[in-house]
Chain A
Amino acid sequence: MNQPGRLHPISIAIREAADIFGRMGFGIAYGPELEDDWHNFTALNVPEDHPARDMQDTFWVKDKPGSVLRTHATSVTMRKLEEMAKTGITEMRCINPGKIFRNEATDMTHEAQFYQLDGFAIGPTGSVTLAHLKGTFEKFYREYFGPDAKVRFRPSFFGFTEPSVETDVWFEVPGKEGRWLETAGAGMLHPNVLRNAGLDPEKFQGFAFGGGLERLMMIKYGIPDIRLFHTGDIRFNYAFDELRRQGVGAPTEASGKPI
């Protein structure tokens, strides 16, 4: 009889995020990886001739203009906002974990396909503010990285948010000096995005965020190279000790380690 198999570390990270965000009222949303131009760009206030749409950043489908591999999971946010407008719901919070694609040369910190932990919270004007984004991030990062994690914002720019911020997290590895690491882009949903979803920007307000999931894990576990994640090599699953399992089944003693 085999030992239980090992889940991919990405699954484990998604479960942690789902749990922490779940306790803050966030659902989990999915959307197509092969997206249309509207949900990936136009509706998100990324105009027709924006450099992001150039061939070097985005994978386009041959003979199907307007069909792209999503460049961010914010496309899922757009779909959920449209759903809100259609159903008349007035509040929504979701994280959208999923694979995204960037047409760029790969190296230790860049992959052409990786996972993003994207998300949003929206409600009636004044109920979801930049201060709430900060509070939500603080809670998430403290639970994910440890109680010493701190969050800070720096100015940034994204078409779909205004104001836009870059998020840094203070991370301490035991025995090493702590440091600030850039983890996510974020901001307050741009009124054009709300309008494009069919929501009235005078009545709704919300934040959105997104960052690489692999990057969080590289920080947390000290993984040196993003290209290790999606090669189908099981040595990656076994490169971490399973310290604890919770849920079905009892913890099993790790076998076969060096004596």
Chain B
Amino acid sequence: MKVSRNWLQKYFDTPLPSTEALSEALTFHAFEIEEATEDMLDVKVLPNRAADCLSHRGIARELSAILNLSLASDPLREALQGSTLFPNSKVVPNSKVEPCNALRVEIEDPKKCSRYMGALVRGVKVRPSPDWLREALEAVGQRSINNIVDATNYVMLNIGQPLHAFDAAKLIQKEGKYAIGVRSAKEGEKVTTLSGEEYALTPNIQLITDAHADTPIALAGVKGGEAAELTGETTDIIVESANFDGTTTRRAAQALKLFTDASLRFQNRPSPDLCAYGMREVLALITEIAGPVKGEAPRGAGVEVVAVVDEYPTRPAQDGEVSVTLTKVNGVLGAGFSQEEVEDVFRRLGLPAVCESQTFTVTPPFERTDLTIPEDLVEEVGRIVGYDKIPAAELSPLGGMPDQARYRGIEKMKDQLAVQGFTEVSTQSFAKKGDIVLANPLDKNMPALRVSLDENMEAAMERATYVAPLVLAPHERPRLFEIGTVFPKEGERLAIKTSEPVSDVLEIKDELGYAPMRYELGAYQPFSVYPFITRDIAFWADDGFTKSIIGENAGTLLVRSDQFDRFEKEGRISYAFRLVFQSMERTLTDEEVNGVMEKISAALAAKGYEVR
């Protein structure tokens, strides 16, 4: 979620610190920050907080708690006037609401749409947004479309409620009424979205329809349709503020491969209570910015909210209070926080709490759907006070030896093989064929789980044989082993495979007392992906020979050298070396290596050594 510092500032009377400081505050007390610029923070809202924090209001609330700055205003704490139909709302000045006379809403399955608020608004002018609105949207990477669409997006980004506006004139009116339907798509039914793409639908996708015509006008919770798109001619609109089921919306977005700001929010199950706040905010904003500008004749009576319908068939059970004791808070965190410190956290978070005999009872506000058990409150205390305030404590010793017998048995087998010269490899568990086949393999050529380690061993051995001169001495041959899980139809088991027969019984047994060999490794040294070239060189030398002559003259392409022969004859010493050449950047040519070999030979000859 991209948030703008300027936008957040609207929630505070005192100036906010820099985005850098905000970023730090959020990182250690709420959410990771993916990116921060001078005005923008990209906040990685955690899944359990996506119901309320995919909004500037939510992030402002968090910052208020973390920085201990009070919020100047909170749209979710301003009481809804009268009923949710806003008959007397001061923020909708022109409303002459006559409930349900101009608009009707039908919900087919309340499990998939728990609430649908619709408002019929007349007399709007669709035009470019005022500068402040356009700039606010652009600051968080959104494109400005027109004043009505921008108003719906602004309110969504501000308080988290997805909204949509339809051109009412494109819907059929019967006896002076419009009708909005929410229903499952029919198999094969088609919708063209606002961006012009056509989608063929299946019944697990919910649609918004013009119920009089039974034709789709939007993909519920995902995206609006072309059929009721706003244009410059639009005067009457139907505004939607609804709550669609999280799973249904997520599956629909996945099936359509259409992930939108709306689907992202619905899949995180915001409270249906939020709909009314969204509707209030958006109607106020549309009334403010879609009316006649100075000197312009109003359309009809100006912007007029004619009707607001609230279809709310299943209200969620109120979760009610959550209690936690001070002992529990400190007992889980391992801290020694005081009653006052804990109370202060709840106050800063705006969580109504009472404390009686060191038991805190919190009544979470509707948008905090994540607070349901005592441990949730413990987390609030821990993160707001700061996890840096949690001390580090050592676990008390346990009686007896910890059970590591299987581990010791496995590692004993590895040590036994390593001592005999076997190098351990680790390979992929996926295979071309097997008894267990994956429903969704990553690589279609490797859809199964391996039934044995044989095939991978063969491939590893082939490669090891090729690369052996790079890592082994000339007289050594590669020997490999793998200990890994295999999945034959009898059931998975740990298998052992060696590249050649061994005399050991390859069976892993529990070992109580075996101490596996320990290694200390140096830093990783990258190896080249390019082919290498080997050359042997043999020469007669004397006592004064040191192999540094070879290194000094070979240059950087020499990656390995092994002396594989030495004998003395008639006062002279014969040496033979195998040299391996390789570049980190390219494939070497024979000519290049010949050049290096000539240089080495010349250096040896200069010392009076005879190259054979």
Which residues of A pack against B, CB within 8 Å? 1-12, 14-16, 18-19, 22, 24-30, 32-34, 49, 51, 54-55, 59-64, 69, 91, 93-94, 99, 101, 103-106, 112-113, 121, 125-132, 134-136, 138-139, 151-157, 162-166, 188, 190-191, 205, 221-224, 229-249, 255-259
Residues of chain A within 8 A of B478, CB atoms compared: 234
B507 within 8 A of A: no
Instruction: State whether B395 touches A152 (Cβ < 8 A).
Output: no
Instruction: State whether A125 touches B550 (Cβ < 8 A).
Output: no
Knowing A34-B449, A232-B425, say if A165 contacts B387 (CB, 8 Å). yes
B471 within 8 A of A: yes
A230 vs B428: C-alpha distance in the bound complex, in angstroms?
6
A3 vs B472: C-alpha distance in the bound complex, in angstroms?
9
B247 within 8 A of A: yes
Mask: chain B, 505-528; 1 = CB below 8 Å from A; 0 = not: 000000000011111111111110
Instruction: State whether A233 touches B388 (Cβ < 8 A).
Output: no
Residues of chain A within 8 A of B526, CB atoms compared: 224, 239
A197 vs B28: C-alpha distance in the bound complex, in angstroms?
32
State the Cβ distance, A107 to closest chain B Cβ, in Å.
13
B136 within 8 A of A: no
Knowing A125-B331, A155-B383, A163-B378, say if A239 contacts B524 (CB, 8 Å). yes
Instruction: State whether B527 touches A239 (Cβ < 8 A).
Output: yes
Instruction: State whether B403 touches A191 (Cβ < 8 A).
Output: no
- Which among B147-155, B216-224, B554-562, B591-599 touches the partner chain? B554-562
Mask: chain B, 474-495; 1 = CB below 8 Å from A; 0 = not: 0011111110110100001000
From A5, A166, A238, contact of B420 by CB (8 A): A5
Instruction: State whether B395 touches A136 (Cβ < 8 A).
Output: yes
The 3 closest A-B pairs by CB, nearest first: A131-B334, A2-B421, A129-B334
Instruction: State whether B331 touches A61 (Cβ < 8 A).
Output: no
Given A69-B449, A162-B379, A163-B382, 17 extra CB contacts under 8 A: A2-B420, A3-B421, A4-B420, A4-B421, A28-B407, A59-B441, A60-B438, A94-B402, A138-B392, A162-B378, A221-B524, A232-B463, A234-B425, A234-B478, A238-B471, A239-B526, A248-B517
A45 vs B500: C-alpha distance in the bound complex, in angstroms?
46
**Is the interface on chain B under 10, 10 to 19, 20 to 34, or 35 or more residues?**
35 or more
Residues of chain A within 8 A of B441, CB atoms compared: 59
Instruction: State whether B449 touches A112 (Cβ < 8 A).
Output: no
From B392, B518, B561, contact of A246 by CB (8 A): B518
From A60, A132, A151, contact of B394 by CB (8 A): A132
Instruction: State whether A54 touches B407 (Cβ < 8 A).
Output: no
- Which among B29-37, B81-89, B280-288, B602-610 touches the partner chain? B29-37
A165 vs B29: C-alpha distance in the bound complex, in angstroms?
10
**CB<8 Å pairs between A and B, sample of 9:** A62-B438, A131-B333, A154-B27, A221-B521, A234-B460, A234-B463, A237-B425, A243-B521, A256-B561
A29 vs B429: C-alpha distance in the bound complex, in angstroms?
20
Knowing A33-B429, A232-B460, say if A103 contacts B442 (CB, 8 Å). yes
Knowing A99-B429, A153-B387, A154-B387, say if A248 contacts B419 (CB, 8 Å). yes
Residues of chain A within 8 A of B559, CB atoms compared: 258
Instruction: State whether A26 touches B394 (Cβ < 8 A).
Output: no
Instruction: State whether A55 touches B411 (Cβ < 8 A).
Output: no
A244 vs B417: C-alpha distance in the bound complex, in angstroms?
19
A240 vs B560: C-alpha distance in the bound complex, in angstroms?
15
Instruction: State whether A59 touches B438 (Cβ < 8 A).
Output: yes
Residues of chain B within 8 A of A15, CB atoms compared: 411, 516-519
A249 vs B420: C-alpha distance in the bound complex, in angstroms?
12
Instruction: State whether A242 touches B373 (Cβ < 8 A).
Output: no
Residue from B335, B394, B524 having most chain A Cβ neighbours under 10 A: B524
Instruction: State whether B562 touches A256 (Cβ < 8 A).
Output: yes
Mask: chain B, 450-478; 1 = CB below 8 Å from A; 0 = not: 00000011011001100100111100111
A104 vs B439: C-alpha distance in the bound complex, in angstroms?
14
From A6, A105, A153, A249, contact of B390 by CB (8 A): A153
Residues of chain B within 8 A of A240, CB atoms compared: 521-525
From A9, A165, A229, A259, contact of B521 by CB (8 A): A9
Instruction: State whether A205 touches B332 (Cβ < 8 A).
Output: yes
B534 within 8 A of A: no
State the Cβ distance, A185 to closest chain B Cβ, in Å.
12
State the Cβ distance, A223 to closest chain B Cβ, in Å.
5
State the Cβ distance, B221 to closest chain A Cβ, in Å.
15
A50 vs B518: C-alpha distance in the bound complex, in angstroms?
42
Instruction: State whether A59 touches B440 (Cβ < 8 A).
Output: yes
Instruction: State whether B438 touches A54 (Cβ < 8 A).
Output: no
A127 vs B517: C-alpha distance in the bound complex, in angstroms?
34
Knowing A54-B254, A113-B429, A258-B558, say if A233 contacts B521 (CB, 8 Å). no
Residue from A138, A223, A259 having most chain B Cβ neighbours under 10 A: A259
Residues of chain B within 8 A of A135, CB atoms compared: 392-395
State the Cβ distance, A172 to closest chain B Cβ, in Å.
14
Instruction: State whether B521 touches A242 (Cβ < 8 A).
Output: yes
Residues of chain A within 8 A of B388, CB atoms compared: 152-153
Residues of chain B within 8 A of A49, CB atoms compared: 246-247, 250
Residues of chain B within 8 A of A59, CB atoms compared: 438-442
Instruction: State whether A130 touches B332 (Cβ < 8 A).
Output: yes
A34 vs B492: C-alpha distance in the bound complex, in angstroms?
8
- Nearest neighbor of B469 in chain A, beta-carbon distance: A256
Knowing A28-B404, A91-B398, A249-B419, say if A6 contacts B440 (CB, 8 Å). no
Residues of chain B within 8 A of A29, CB atoms compared: 403
Residues of chain B within 8 A of A18, CB atoms compared: 404, 407, 516
